């Protein structure tokens, strides 16, 4: 589709029987809704359908190629489009791991650097709602780290999460965090998610004394970088996860069924992201009774009732919910619900 640039824009529209599923354009428009090039392509398709090329599904187009043909095609495209090579390398780096195949952190770092440098960061006062650039690649890598946590590969997840944090905090192409604090909402939200994943990963691995000291020092630096700009909660939770682990005396008592009825337990519930991460780990590892003890003590009533229901203890779930769960969800201690996974 012809536009204001020398090269035409690429417009792609996907249909099914019900209508349009997805529509994209290579133009820089990002202000919501379809751009004028997508609209023009649809008008052209309506008025002159023969002028629009209908493409087969990619899977169908590739299905007839042999292994060597596919390999040659991928290598040729990666040479022509270097960013595609970085994306492929990053995808392989996050694929399922084993003792003989570890997470390729170097490839992940290269992929992150390429995505940061490729997008650049606009002047904040000109286009402040896009100061975080394109986070698609970083979010894909973060999702890979979360998949590793669910697969019980917390060490691999930690290496990925460290790479994300360090590459963004040290990226020369990123905006100064002073500016990001005011204008980089999307990136700040992303780092909240990174901190939450870090917390859960740290609670999912046995750390040696040296590793505990190393992660404590790293998190102290990261928290100092991020804490003033609205993303301190989850990184603070990660820091306390390293400090307390699972041997924190008040936590041990609660997991055994103690009722937290005095100030001795108060600090245990002062960190909602840390409590949520602990509940996620307990649920994932099948430590259901400990989950129920902690969720009840923390006032995570909705999560507690859901876990009872998942354990086929419907009568208990109904009774507990009737007594404790208020309309609109939430908890007695004012914390958000954890995910019983």
Domain range holding 183? 74-229
Residue 88 has pLDDT above 50, yes or no: yes
Q: At what angle do helices 82-93 and 67-80 cross, to 10 degrees?
A: 120
Identify the pLDDT of residue 341. Answer: 46
Residue 279 has pLDDT above 90, yes or no: yes
Whether 188 and 53 map to the same domain: the answer is: no
Q: What is the mean pLDDT of residues 136-152?
A: 90
Whether 215 and 169 map to the same domain: the answer is: yes
What is 89-132 written as a DSSP string?
Answer: HHHHHTS--BTTB---HHHHHHHHHHHHHHH----HHHHGGGTT
Q: How many domains does the chain have?
A: 3
Whether 27 and 149 map to the same domain: the answer is: no
Most confident of 4-13, 47-56, 124-133, 236-245: 236-245
Whether 122 and 203 map to the same domain: the answer is: yes
Nearest to 184 by CA among 233, 228, 224: 228
Residue 131 has pLDDT above 60, yes or no: no
pLDDT, tens digit, 9 for 90 and up, residues 158-215? 999 999 999 888 765 554 444 454 445 677 888 899 999 999 999 999 999 999 999 9
Give 296's pLDDT tier (boundaries 50, 70, 90): very high
Residue 16 has pLDDT above 90, yes or no: no
Give 230's pLDDT tier (boundaries 50, 70, 90): low
Residue 282 has pLDDT above 70, yes or no: yes
* Mean of the per-residue pLDDT values of the chain: 79
In a domain, 333, yes or no: no
Identify the pLDDT of residue 125. Answer: 38
Q: What token pair was written down for 314? A: 């419907």
In a domain, 329, yes or no: no
CB atoms within 10 A of CB 182: 13
Identify the pLDDT of residue 333. Answer: 55
Whether 126 and 171 map to the same domain: the answer is: yes
What is 263-298 written as a DSSP string?
Answer: GGGGGGGS-HHHHHHHHHHHHHTT-HHHHHHHHHHT
Of 177, 194, 229, the last residue of a domain is 229
């Amino acid at each position: 589709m012809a536009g204001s640039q020398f090269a035409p824009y690429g417009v792609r529209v996907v249909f099914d029987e019900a209508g349009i599923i997805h529509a994209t354009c290579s133009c820089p428009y990002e202000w919501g809704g379809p751009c004028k090039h997508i609209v023009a392509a649809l008008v052209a398709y309506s008025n002159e359908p023969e002028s629009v090329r209908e493409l087969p599904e990619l899977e169908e187009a590739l299905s007839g190629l042999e292994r060597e043909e596919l390999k040659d095609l991928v290598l040729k495209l990666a040479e022509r489009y270097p960013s595609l090579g970085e994306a492929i390398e990053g995808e392989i780096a996050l694929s399922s791991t084993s003792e003989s195949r570890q997470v390729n952190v170097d490839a992940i770092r290269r992929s992150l650097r390429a995505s940061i440098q490729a997008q650049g960061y606009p002047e904040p006062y000109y286009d402040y709602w896009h100061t975080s650039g394109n986070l698609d690649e970083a979010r894909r890598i973060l999702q890979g780290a979360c998949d590793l946590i669910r697969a019980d590969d917390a060490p691999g997840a930690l290496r990925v999460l460290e790479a994300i944090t360090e590459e963004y905090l040290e990226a020369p192409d990123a905006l100064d965090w002073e500016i990001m604090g005011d204008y980089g909402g999307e990136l700040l939200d992303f780092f909240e998610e990174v901190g939450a994943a870090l917390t859960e990963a740290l609670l999912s691995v046995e750390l040696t004394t040296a590793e505990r000291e190393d992660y404590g020092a790293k998190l102290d630096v990261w928290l100092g970088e991020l804490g003033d700009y609205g993303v301190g909660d989850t990184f603070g939770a990660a820091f306390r996860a390293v400090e307390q682990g699972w041997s924190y005396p008040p936590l041990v008592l609660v997991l055994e069924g103690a009722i937290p009825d005095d100030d001795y337990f108060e600090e245990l519930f002062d960190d909602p992201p840390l409590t949520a991460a602990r509940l996620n780990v307990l649920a994932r590892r099948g430590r259901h009774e400990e989950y129920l003890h902690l969720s009840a003590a923390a006032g995570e009533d909705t999560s507690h009732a859901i876990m009872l229901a998942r354990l086929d203890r419907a009568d208990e779930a109904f009774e507990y919910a009737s007594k404790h769960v208020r309309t609109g969800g939430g908890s007695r201690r004012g914390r958000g619900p954890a995910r019983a996974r």
